[in-house]
Structure 1
């Protein structure tokens, strides 16, 4: 396993650095077609080698099967390669590689700047590879436009946002000077994407979708079964929400009730961030008072505005975990700010979908005892593979599971917050229905946006951003409710305290659910 991880980090230096591994923060890696296809070949060799290993120790067997699930998923996805279809494959990695080290602050500032300068020198080559590798026959116009929105943030991010994170004036000037050639490369990519004609599809298709569910996620069912599960869960939640809505507005119309609740929202984006910060502290205190989990020593969750380069492509709250291969236990809960180009009405709609009734559920999900607690807890696992590889079907499933668990504990203690909690859950059921229908059937983008705006309490603008994400990231959206249901099932057979169950299950990593059950 150590040999495999050394190979893996060498060929994925951005991820290695992101996880806190030392010695990888000076390079972006090889993004040429030859380099990317060479990695695909080596992954297939590792599948063959690891499959032959005899691992009598149960923990070692789980590590092996975890890595194999990731490699088999990667091998399946190679039939539909993102690096030939989607410019965000390159852009997201470039932005993360440059921004994350300054957010994590694992090293002194001179070392951070030296690493950034070295990586900036490679940005023109990576973006040139993007232009060369994109295949007009399989690249989808929707994905290209999505990437174009990201690329347009490049110059401002590199020449303004990134240097502003450096305190020393001399180092700041050095970084700004190194950023200019990279910014020019972004300008060139913007012009290229703006005129790039392509005719591919963003639809994955049921065959590959099902293969990923079975091979990578180790679920015992495929896309059709998952779609039916989403429809059943939506219907059950709809019935329950009608009952709760009567305590909110006197009728069974939960959409109208949620619409009225969404009118009570913070007045500005910064006020939204401040209120999320207060709610995060409340969730932490409640989790500690109820003794629901063991808190890692030194953990801290910062609540910050989302990064500029994520605003065109992410319309919801998200989280940056502590780098698990380091000693840090500091994570960041990113509040979903809007792009600077948004109108006043678009900003208002974003605030409405982060109303005061919804904030408790979102803070629990992103911070305590959701993502932040879980991922800072994982960092204490002695098995390196468990820190490197995780699936959203566990991590997102965990965060949705704890929303329900805290509801059972009395955290959502008003009809308004209870209804909003259920709305967060029915939103995830709608995601299952829409994601599978988009990629495995013939649901149109317009139908998907209407579904998300009417079957969950999303504004039209947020629904549009959500569906755009599903088109670009198939199989991820169903992970939340699917994982939460599986964790509930595992909990039913647990014979011990709730705290011990949480510590043990979450501490096992972010495993595919079948492996997580073995670990428990």
Structure 2
């Protein structure tokens, strides 16, 4: 339908112009020289425009729309409705990370993807560096201590304190030409000074911050229903998490007896397995690289999925500016608006200031028994396979907007898929696979309870340290993330279970085999699960 497609094209251009750092991540060119207007007036204008776009898409009826067109429309509607649900306390007034994160990632991704000649990349980086003092000044003017949670502010503070080393050392280290590197170092100095001053200000601001990090049951349930298009709210999700946890607990008790020296106490068995880990952070990266290649070969040998032409997954250390806020492995996809199919699996290195014991705990949380599952999740056929495959799709709007309830759900489904096909043949590996799944069940229970006011942070940390195989230090980092990122933690297992249901219906309807299901649903994007069901089942 021409009118909808014209509307979609206009919306995509508006979004990329409004959020130039995100445009860089997606591979859209022409916006690399700016971080965007971060003034209160600009944010207020964008908020108003978001509501106007919502009204325009809501006015598009079903008449004359193909299935794909209606899915595109509903994807935009669900995205915009999610933003409106949170609009009474907008992130740009409560979270310093809204400013800090895009500055650092906007510089990092320029050189990660290297879509242009080095001289052009440096020119864009210099232009963005010159905007840093103004962006941080806008942050100070915009942030409201009455609604900013101290916990959220302190997360951004950790990133702000890592900025100088990143800007003055790591970023110039990406440049091979000496004269270009000198220019980048010169531009980085004032930006680093601005970050130092901002970090000092944030430390004081954190003392004044009185906002509540809890989302509340009403907003939590509204996001599940209206943004994620699930047919239930926070209470039912919480109960589902508890039920699946109990099922997995029983399964793991039986399996743990098959591990050499094991018993029904799977917690103790997993704790013992965590003593076998790589000796150093770099050794951990090397072992992850080997596991990533093994998983890819298994997919080929068993013909479980097709592959995007030219796809490649690099296994690299996590960037320094992410280490204070992310304690687990993560992935950055190929820029989907380009022909690149090169993705990056980031291994969770620790911040420089970590003690020897904190480093040991990080290594233990990435034990050799656990590494096969994590590599499957992050790379093959998890995030890298999925996002490199979907990048070849024709629907532009689906490349811009994706929900973790599909993308993280897919990665957990990928673990299940390989287990069904015998990949985790070693009982220790299979137990670790189930441990990763029960960990996600515990996340559902904790995240819903935290944000609905039924669990304290201390109780949540204890729950994650005893109900999952997390070291105490990692449990603290996990819960901090849940508090700052409501509804994301349940996405993994919730999404996996929903995808498994869709697959069962797909196979029962005779629409194809498992390989064709994987290609179809993963190739459709990372849609809210209600929309993914419509695509897979044809209506």
> What is the SS of the residue equivalent to 1:247?
coil
- Rounded to whole Å, the distance in 2 between the matches of 1:10 and 1:293 is 36
Q: Which residue of 1 aligns with 2:296?
A: 284
* C-alpha distance in structure 1 between counterparts of 2:503 and 2:390, whole Å: 19
In the alignment, structure 1 residue 145 sits paired with structure 2 residue 187: no
1:110-121 matches, cutoff 5 A: 110-121=119-130
Distance 2:210 2:324 in 1: 23
2:248 equivalent in structure 1: 237
Q: Distance in 1 between matches of 2:159 and 2:377?
A: 26
The residue that corresponds to 1:356 in the other structure is 368
Q: 2:401 aligns with which of 381, 389, 400?
A: 389
2:61 to 32, 54, 58: 54
* 1:176-325 pair list within 5 angstroms: 176-196=185-205, 197-248=208-259, 249-325=261-337
- 1:357-436 → structure 2 map (5 Å cutoff): 357-436=369-448
2:179 matches 1:167: no
1:78 CA displacement:
1.3
d(CA) in 2 for partners of 1:258 and 1:79? 44
SS of the residue 2:353 aligns to: coil
Do residues 83 (structure 1) and 92 (structure 2) align?
yes
Task: Give, in whole Å, the separation in 2 of the partners of 1:15 and 1:68.
Answer: 19
Tell me the CA shift for residue 376 of structure 1. Answer: 0.3
Secondary structure at the aligned position of 2:258 is classed as: helix
| Residues 382-404 of structure 1 deviation map (CA, whole Å, 9 limit, x = unaligned) | 11011111000000000000101
Greater than 3 Å deviation, 4+ residue runs: none
Aligned residue number for residue 496 of structure 2: 484
2:28 maps to 1:21:
yes
Matched, 1:501 2:513: no
Matches of 1:103 and 1:46, distance apart in 2: 32
Partner of 2:482: 470
Alignment correspondent of 1:4? 11
Distance in 1, matches of 2:525 and 2:399, equals 7
Q: Which whole-Å deviations, capped at 9, do the CAs of 1:133-181 have from their partners, x for residues lacking one?
A: 1111111111111111110001111111100100000100011111111
Q: Distance in 1 between matches of 2:364 and 2:248?
A: 22
Superposed CA deviations along residues 465-492 of structure 1, whole A, max 9, x for unmatched, are 0001001100000000000000000000
Aligned counterparts of 2:262 and 2:348: Cα–Cα separation in 1: 32
Partner of 2:107: 98
Work out the CA distance in 2 between the residues paired with 1:330 and 1:240: 37
Q: Distance in 1 between matches of 2:384 and 2:53?
A: 32
| Cα deviation 1:391-420 (Å, max 9, x = unaligned) | 000000000001011000000001100100
Secondary structure of the 1:200 match is coil
Q: CA deviation at 1:441?
A: 2.1
Q: How big is the shift at 1:202?
A: 0.7
Structure 1 unaligned regions, length at least 5: none
Deviations 1:425-475 (A, max 9, x none): 000000000101111123111110000000000000000000010011000
Q: Using the alignment, how far apart are the partners of 1:217 and 1:242 within structure 2?
A: 33
Q: Deviations over 1:93-121 (max 9, x none)?
A: 11110001101111110111011111111
d(CA) in 2 for partners of 1:79 and 1:400? Answer: 33
TM-score calculated relative to the size of structure 2:
0.96
| TM-fit CA distance, 1:81 | 1.5
Cα displacement string for residues 257-314 of structure 1 (whole angstroms, at most 9, x for unaligned residues): 0000000000000000000000000000001111011100000000000000010000
Counterpart contact for 2:24–2:109, Cα < 8 Å = no
What's the offset of the Cα at 1:229?
0.6
